[in-house]
Chain A
């Protein structure tokens, strides 16, 4: 089979979308783009699945003098990520058809949006395939720019522009770091191929170079303290893009880290410990912030930070296992990380899409204004509930499986010989348990406040259920999630192929079979739980048939004039938690003290909002000092063109002097 033909076909499809979508009538643009995305999905999934079945596919493209030979290699790791990208991009495009049709967008806007969606999807696929540093940077940049423009769909709002700029700048700090590391790598080995990193990392300073790459990719993934773009960009983007961003763009950062981890040979344990600790703090910080925010898309964005932390924990455990030569822990760690990557992309896109439905109908992202949406949008509520259960890691959904694997890795880590690992792992377990507890709080809050109770405010738009067409992709995701939750054992053998890429030692088959049985037990247990619940519910229904069932107002505890504004709000729900962790949750209040003369009632305003600890205390403060420092050099930037020409002349002179005396 000639795979390079398929790659050419893929590029042709993307190119065709450039020329076709802009010239179509408005109502066909999104559908056509969806068609293109489906074709790209089909082709690349075929490539990925055949690579998983028959081993790595390698295609070499001649890139001319500058690039030399560009290697496109699809190994099991690439294949896994290609499949993740495809699932979410496909459902995202489908959901986006309905979502954009509700927007009053100009035809030009729509054309740009949908062409870029196709480009964006393809660029992510190429990020997974290209294994040539120079070409990688180009596709990586293509992915960043196209996603930036996708965020800017609603460019009339200044907040969106601000979030997009923030995203742009932070992504380019990341790219700069990655570029530096790639250049150093090229200097050491003289090769553009990713495989040369094995030699690069083997050098004395390998771990520092890895650290630079980790930070570079970590900005994309959203490890703290590099996460601050996420809570701005996700709410600003239209919901189908937020779903795809949270589901897969941040996962490209994880892919980059995993790809580089592959070539690490020395200091594995140390790096593993660092990643584990950073990840635990990331996860805890992420979920803590998710619990306090009132904007439901911001909440989901912080929750992404949490899940990135959990994925990172898996990577850390895997690295420690690899460093200690313990194939079982290595397998469980990496398998947990990879599976959680897939799971998170599924349930997070489900959550973003169903939250998008709510936003579409109510035009607000502030939970305090909502309430009782379940009655008008029952299906959306159902999907959001399933997503919440999955993200909290409850059986019978998929989230439990990957968290279970990570727990298993930690428990096996406790039993390691060295006390250092036992202590580290027990701390991690207790944090992971707390993270689980806070995510329960976060998602009972968001589901309860948005969908349950009565509406807290009169909303201009009366919400009603969105069309069935928009709900089909959500149902598809849900089916996949339950499938993974009930039959997790089926994923073990494909996963073992992916983890084998990392393999120092190959996982013994007996251990895999043991895990297969273990996971099938979990599937059975999840099913049993479901069946018991169903049986009890049916029993209840039967007894209620013979009894009288009455409907009356909620018991007001003796208070005779309750109103809907008195319901527990999202702020009051998480207030105790906020107080408990007040060193990390910065609440700012804006109000005027009541003065002596103003005791008589009149209109007052009170505002409270939360600041991101790292953004407010570290990043913004650093930027403030940087700006103050650069202020000293404003005299250079004086707006006189003669001066600018003089600078140029001066610069050329310096260059001449340097080259004349051979200074460098």
Chain B
């Protein structure tokens, strides 16, 4: 039962995550803003609505959001909670994690292509390119953590991640930074993509889902929340050292999620969107940061002096 704890917690935090982001943004811009649960209420309303399908689209368009949502739930099943492994855990499960997420993306992309809209094709092309550029950073990071801890599954890595020397703090901070940026890129948020923009030409994620409506749109919207909460859980895991009791670690977890949401809101408030052509450089920079982490791990293990 304990292994489903992370699933439940991630689900709970997904309910208020975008609410906090929106609230933070509105406070920074001097508005009162909607309630924390307003986004989830919007999604619930979408679930009850009917749908409009494009006459160009086929069954791909109909199944794509379901598979996308399922892929994220699948990925969440791997996330551990402190020293309690996730529902599914095996050696090298982060490879499965990455490929399951990519599968969801594959379907979203072809779902967008299915409408035959030039704008949605544009969003699809960008999404494919940027998610390709993020991959190496994630794998180098997980590879470094695997080298550091000697384990290859999420559960074992986070269970045995000890914070000892100074460099390990640096690694923790850098890893958190990389995960925050990965979460921003994967969810098409501010420095890379602006969810609030009104011009289709500058959108990435939003332009892909122009034709989705009703239940499907609800799934896609909530998938964003879940994805954020999932990355938040990974980040929280860096700070949940094993051995702590649940009454201690659950507040830390929720606190980390809230903090993460506030950080996202802050970044969104103060950062401007990059020019589309600069995005690839920015995203690829993540790879070099994760290479720094790799070097730090090598230093700590005494492989290089």
- A contact residues vs B (CB 8 Å cutoff): 371-372, 374-375, 378, 385, 389, 392-395, 400, 403-404, 407-408, 410-412, 414-415, 419, 422, 425-426, 429-434, 436-438, 440-441, 443-445, 447-449, 452-454, 517-518, 521-522, 524-525, 528-529, 532-533, 535-537, 540, 543-544, 547-557, 562, 564, 566-568, 572-577, 580
Taking the complex as formed, is B114 at the interface, i.e. its CB lies under 8 A from any CB of chain A? yes
Nearest B residue to A569, CB-CB: B121
Q: A404-B96, A557-B210 are in contact. Are A429 and B74 (CB under 8 A)?
A: no
- Are A453 and B74 in contact, with the CB atoms below 8 A? no
Pick the contact of B132: A395, A434, A567 (CB < 8 A).
A434
- Are A555 and B103 in contact, with the CB atoms below 8 A? no
Q: A518-B90, A533-B70, A562-B118 are in contact. Are A440 and B106 (CB under 8 A)?
A: yes
Contacts of A403 in B (CB 8 A): 95, 99
Chain B, range 53-88, C-beta contacts under 8 Å to A = 53-58, 60, 63, 65-67, 69-71, 73-74, 77, 88
- Are A371 and B116 in contact, with the CB atoms below 8 A? yes
Nearest B residue to A549, CB-CB: B51
- Are A452 and B110 in contact, with the CB atoms below 8 A? yes
Residue from B57, B93, B105, B136 with most neighbouring chain A CB atoms (10 Å): B136
Contacts of A407 in B (CB 8 A): 92, 95
Taking the complex as formed, is B133 at the interface, i.e. its CB lies under 8 A from any CB of chain A? yes
Contacts of B67 in A (CB 8 A): 533, 537
Q: How far is the CA of A425 from the CA of B294 in the complex (A)?
A: 12
What total of chain B residues lie within 8 Å of the partner, measured CB to CB?
83
Contacts of B134 in A (CB 8 A): 437
Pick the contact of A522: B90, B124, B132 (CB < 8 A).
B90
When A and B form their complex, what is the total count of cross-chain residue pairs whose Cβ atoms lie within 8 Å? 261
- Are B90 and A567 in contact, with the CB atoms below 8 A? no
**Can you list 19 A-B contacts with CB-CB less than 8 angstroms, sorted by A residue number?**
A372-B116, A395-B96, A395-B100, A429-B136, A430-B136, A436-B135, A440-B102, A453-B121, A521-B88, A522-B90, A522-B96, A525-B90, A533-B71, A540-B66, A547-B214, A551-B53, A551-B54, A573-B124, A575-B125
10 tightest CB-CB pairs across the interface, nearest first? Answer: A568-B121, A437-B132, A448-B113, A453-B116, A547-B50, A430-B136, A533-B70, A433-B135, A548-B50, A532-B70
A380 to B: closest C-beta gap in Å = 13
Pick the contact of A414: B53, B122, B147 (CB < 8 A).
B147
- Are A452 and B114 in contact, with the CB atoms below 8 A? yes
Nearest A residue to B117, CB-CB: A554
Taking the complex as formed, is B303 at the interface, i.e. its CB lies under 8 A from any CB of chain A? yes
Contacts of B77 in A (CB 8 A): 528
Q: How far is the CA of A389 from the CA of B64 in the complex (A)?
A: 13
Q: How far is the CA of A172 from the CA of B106 in the complex (A)?
A: 41
Pick the contact of B106: A394, A452, A537, A577 (CB < 8 A).
A394
Contacts of B55 in A (CB 8 A): 551-554
Taking the complex as formed, is B16 at the interface, i.e. its CB lies under 8 A from any CB of chain A? no
- Are A547 and B51 in contact, with the CB atoms below 8 A? yes
- Are B99 and A436 in contact, with the CB atoms below 8 A? yes
- Are B102 and A430 in contact, with the CB atoms below 8 A? no
Pick the contact of A433: B93, B105, B138, B146 (CB < 8 A).
B138
- Are A555 and B118 in contact, with the CB atoms below 8 A? no
Contacts of B124 in A (CB 8 A): 444, 448, 568, 573
A321 to B: closest C-beta gap in Å = 16
- Are B146 and A415 in contact, with the CB atoms below 8 A? yes
B23 to A: closest C-beta gap in Å = 29
Contact with A along B180-213 (1 / 0, CB 8 A): 0000000000000000000010000000001100
Contacts of B216 in A (CB 8 A): 540
- Are A572 and B100 in contact, with the CB atoms below 8 A? no
Q: How far is the CA of A524 from the CA of B93 in the complex (A)?
A: 12
Q: How far is the CA of A533 from the CA of B138 in the complex (A)?
A: 25
Q: How far is the CA of A371 from the CA of B114 in the complex (A)?
A: 10
- Are A537 and B63 in contact, with the CB atoms below 8 A? yes
- Are B70 and A444 in contact, with the CB atoms below 8 A? no
- Are B133 and A437 in contact, with the CB atoms below 8 A? yes
- Are A568 and B132 in contact, with the CB atoms below 8 A? no
- Are B129 and A444 in contact, with the CB atoms below 8 A? no
Q: How far is the CA of A555 from the CA of B122 in the complex (A)?
A: 14
Nearest A residue to B214, CB-CB: A547
Q: A394-B106, A518-B90, A572-B125 are in contact. Are A372 and B132 (CB under 8 A)?
A: no
Nearest A residue to B144, CB-CB: A426
- Are A394 and B115 in contact, with the CB atoms below 8 A? no
Given A425-B143, A426-B140, A440-B131, 18 additional A-B pairs, CB 8 A = A389-B106, A395-B96, A407-B92, A414-B146, A430-B140, A434-B135, A437-B128, A453-B56, A521-B88, A529-B71, A540-B215, A552-B54, A553-B55, A555-B54, A562-B117, A567-B118, A568-B120, A572-B122
- Are B129 and A453 in contact, with the CB atoms below 8 A? no
Contacts of A412 in B (CB 8 A): 152
- Are B298 and A422 in contact, with the CB atoms below 8 A? yes
A185 to B: closest C-beta gap in Å = 40
- Are B129 and A540 in contact, with the CB atoms below 8 A? no
- Are A551 and B52 in contact, with the CB atoms below 8 A? yes
Contacts of B25 in A (CB 8 A): none
Q: How far is the CA of A537 from the CA of B70 in the complex (A)?
A: 9
A93 to B: closest C-beta gap in Å = 32
Q: How far is the CA of A385 from the CA of B106 in the complex (A)?
A: 11
- Are B105 and A440 in contact, with the CB atoms below 8 A? yes
Residue from A425, A434, A549, A568 with most neighbouring chain B CB atoms (10 Å): A568
B282 to A: closest C-beta gap in Å = 13
Contacts of A378 in B (CB 8 A): 58
A116 to B: closest C-beta gap in Å = 39
Q: A433-B139, A441-B132, A543-B47 are in contact. Are A452 and B116 (CB under 8 A)?
A: yes
Taking the complex as formed, is B1 at the interface, i.e. its CB lies under 8 A from any CB of chain A? no
Taking the complex as formed, is B98 at the interface, i.e. its CB lies under 8 A from any CB of chain A? yes
Nearest B residue to A392, CB-CB: B106
Q: A372-B116, A540-B66 are in contact. Are A430 and B287 (CB under 8 A)?
A: yes
Contacts of A454 in B (CB 8 A): 56, 116
Q: How far is the CA of A437 from the CA of B135 in the complex (A)?
A: 7
Contacts of B256 in A (CB 8 A): none
Nearest A residue to B210, CB-CB: A555
Contacts of B93 in A (CB 8 A): 525
Pick the contact of A580: B57, B91, B280 (CB < 8 A).
B280
Q: How far is the CA of A414 from the CA of B99 in the complex (A)?
A: 20
